[in-house]
Amino acid sequence: MEGHGPLFNVFIFLLAAVIAVPLSTRLGLGSVLGYLLAGVVIGPWGVALIADPRDILHFAEFGVVLLLFLIGLELNPQRLWALRRPILGMGGLQVLGTTAALGGAALLLGFEWRAALMAGMALALSSTAIGLQLLTERNLLPTAAGSASFSILLFQDIAVIPMLAIIPVLAGRHPETTMYSHWISFFTAAAVIGGIIVGGRFLTRLLLRIIAATRLRELFTAFSLLLVVSIALLMQVIGLSMALGTFLAGVLLADSEYRHALESDIEPFKGLLLGLFFIAVGMSVDFGLLLQRPGLVLLMVLGLLAIKAAVLYGLGRWSGLPLSQQALFAIVLSPGGEFAFVLVTVAVASGAMLPAARDLLVGVVALSMMTTPLLLSLNQRFIEPRFAAPTPPAMDVVAHEHNPVLIAGFGRFGQIVGRLLHANGVGTTVLDHDPEHIEMVRKFGFKVFFGDGTRLDLLSAAGADQARLLVVAVDDPEQALRIARLAREHFPNLLLLGRAWDVAHVFQMQDQGVAEVERETFEGALRLGERALIRLGFTAWQAKQAVHQFRAHDEKLLAELYQHFQEDLEVRAAISMSARVRLREQMQKDEVFFGAHRDADWQTSNDGPGRPEPVTGRDTDAP
């Protein structure tokens, strides 16, 4: 099957995924198992449509990198800091305990002690990709078990670094030079991570702002990917975990206003590459080896899962996870992980492990990855129902905060609405695509998302399904209509308020179900008109009444006109097309209305029961 172009491979991958994943989810087994099985089918041991999975695996690892970047985006530094205990405590105990237990088991199987220790370390790590995918897919990440799993996976990602460093030392290869070079690489690593922290915090935001100012969506996507790729490459060069580096970058951008734009841009790539990764894992299961020594492989897979699950179960009990979640917690993190592939490869390269052992371990890890989704489904179907109590969300690792009001467009108009609400303690989330607006309002503590409200993903990310009101305050009439249409379609519970350009736009907005529409210039013009009346000698009260009356008349007129607008296509066309037609119509009605009233004293002609006496209330408590 060599010689097929890359396009053919892409075709095979997509086809396999499109067939296998829906089947698997339909059977209640989740997407991960679907991808893995698809990989088995198209791989060397299936119909062998793709010969060598290794390159693909390598490429698809980038999916894990993107996954970690996205997770980082959900966790701002404060939240990460709040998680430090579970990360260090749970994570540390899991890695140490499991390494010891699995290393012991490997000794029993006849591994040499150093190889056994390396195997123990490699297998102690769980699959971030599978674990998090399983948890997010089943919406379990916000549970206590999900949070604990996440902490451990994060610690494991960090633990890979010293593990990679210690393997050559264990192998006893040139300890002096190795130690020396390790010091060097330690400092390089520290410098690079420091660079990422500084760069992520300041430089990246600046660049994002510049890119955003071009208003080219694809350029923003390109830059997002470039950002992740370049950090991954940087980490690779200094020999650190790419996933860890991008995770860090994600964390640093988590409280930036571009977070959701980045999220929605990277998300599809992550999904595809992660799927590809799972397919590649499925392909790399060496069934030849499995068939050669089925007993041993089976024993090792079961042993691996049992030992890891046992340690995790103990940890879960010890940390006081809810009973109903302990099994889940133990299962999710029980398979071997993608880092095992890396570690055993390094171990073989260091000379401390035989290539045969590597093939065996890789096979065992891959198989364990396949059994986990299955086990989890069994757990959900048979074990969890015994604990009738629903699992309450315990920690909001990835929960968004939700404001009751969204404002789309934060220019001259939206700002005033926003300031008024803000001043009265109403939580407001702002969507705007002008970097200058964003920068300004972010300083005042608004929650700001970069992008315009015509994007469904952005509206969702900003919490449109939880908010009560959406104020459409963009300065482009067409865009305002698009946002209203989109919001009405996808968030029917959201009450819409809109800024309208002119009368025709008022009607169009009303057609889109916008509950409150305000012409952008109307109130300001009335205010100025009122002052003009005062300058001409009207009393303030008189002028105010005149304005009230005019407004009431105009609103009534507008309501009548809207009815015509809805009923009569010709009127509709005339109103929509010509501002002059509208004005003429309005002025004619004004004449009819005010002509009749102008001479009459429209104020009260109440000369009845005299002037009121003022009430003086000295020394009284107001009753």
Q: Which is nearer to other proteins, 2 or 601 (CB)?
A: 601
Q: Which is nearer to other proteins, 320 or 608 (CB)?
A: 608
> Whole-angstrom Cα distance, residue 357 to residue 343?
12
Site track 546-585 with other proteins (rule: CB under 8 A), x = hit? --xx--x---------------------------------
Site for other proteins contains 592 (CB under 8 A): no
Maximum Cα–Cα distance for the chain, whole Å? Answer: 112
Q: Which is nearer to other proteins, 493 or 606 (CB)?
A: 606
Site for other proteins contains 617 (CB under 8 A): yes
Give the CA radius of gyration of the chain: 33
Q: Is 582 helix (H, G, I), strand (E, B) or coil?
A: helix
Q: Which is nearer to other proteins, 493 or 604 (CB)?
A: 604
Q: Which is nearer to other proteins, 556 or 584 (CB)?
A: 556
Report the run of H or E that residue 499 belongs to, with start and end.
Answer: strand 495-500
Site for other proteins contains 621 (CB under 8 A): yes
Q: Which residue in the set 2, 218, 601, 619 belongs to the binding site for other proteins (CB under 8 A)?
A: 619
Q: Which is nearer to other proteins, 292 or 603 (CB)?
A: 603
Q: Which is nearer to other proteins, 191 or 552 (CB)?
A: 552
Site for other proteins contains 605 (CB under 8 A): yes
Mind giving me the DSSP string for 278-340?
Answer: HHHHHHT--HHHHHHSHHHHHHHHHHHHHHHHHHHHHHHHHTT--HHHHHHHHHHT-S--HHH
> Which stretches of 398-477 are assigned E, i.e. beta strand?
405-408, 428-432, 447-450, 469-472
Mind giving me the DSSP string for 192-231?
Answer: HHHHHHHIIIIIHHHHHHHHHHTT-HHHHHHHHHHHHHHH
Site for other proteins contains 424 (CB under 8 A): no
Tokens matching residue 493: 């519970």
How much helix, strand and coil, in percent to the nearest 5, is found in the chain? Answer: 70, 5, 25
Site for other proteins contains 425 (CB under 8 A): no
Residue 452 beta carbon to other proteins: minimum distance, rounded to whole angstroms: 34
Q: Which is nearer to other proteins, 82 or 552 (CB)?
A: 552
Tokens matching residue 433: 């695509």
From 121-129, 169-177, 357-365, 603-611, span contacting other proteins (CB under 8 A): 603-611
> Which stretches of 9-154 are assigned E, i.e. beta strand?
none
Residue 600 beta carbon to other proteins: minimum distance, rounded to whole angstroms: 12
Q: What is the sign of the dihedral through the CA atoms of 205, 209, 211 and 215?
A: positive
Q: With contacts defined by CB under 8 A, how many residues of the chain interact with other proteins? A: 19
Residue 615 beta carbon to other proteins: minimum distance, rounded to whole angstroms: 5
Q: Which residue in the set 5, 392, 595, 608 belongs to the binding site for other proteins (CB under 8 A)?
A: 608
Q: Which residue in the set 2, 423, 601, 604 belongs to the binding site for other proteins (CB under 8 A)?
A: 604
Interactions with other proteins, residue window 35-54 (CB under 8 A): none
Q: Which is nearer to other proteins, 493 or 620 (CB)?
A: 620
Site for other proteins contains 609 (CB under 8 A): yes
Site for other proteins contains 222 (CB under 8 A): no
Site for other proteins contains 615 (CB under 8 A): yes
Q: What is the sign of the dihedral through the CA atoms of 444, 450, 454 and 456?
A: negative
From 82-90, 179-187, 519-527, 601-609, span contacting other proteins (CB under 8 A): 601-609
- In Å, what is the CA distance from 616 to each residue of 343, 357, 609, 610, 623? 88, 99, 20, 18, 13
Measured CA angle at 36 (ends 31, 41), to 5 deg = 120
> Whole-angstrom Cα distance, residue 507 to residue 593?
23
Tokens matching residue 5: 């172009």
| Upper half-sphere CA count for residue 610 (Cβ side, 13 Å) | 3
From 16-24, 429-437, 453-461, 606-614, span contacting other proteins (CB under 8 A): 606-614
Q: Which is nearer to other proteins, 317 or 597 (CB)?
A: 597
Interactions with other proteins, residue window 498-557 (CB under 8 A): 545, 548-549, 552
Residue 608 beta carbon to other proteins: minimum distance, rounded to whole angstroms: 6
**Which pairs with CB-CB distance under 8 Å and at least 24 residues apart come from 85-89?**
86/147, 86/148, 86/151, 86/152, 86/319, 87/151, 87/152, 87/154, 87/155, 88/155, 89/319
Q: Is 12 helix (H, G, I), strand (E, B) or coil?
A: helix
Residue 557 beta carbon to other proteins: minimum distance, rounded to whole angstroms: 16
Site for other proteins contains 606 (CB under 8 A): yes
Site for other proteins contains 6 (CB under 8 A): no
The residues that touch other proteins, with contacts defined as CB under 8 A, are 545, 548-549, 552, 603-609, 612, 615, 617, 619-623
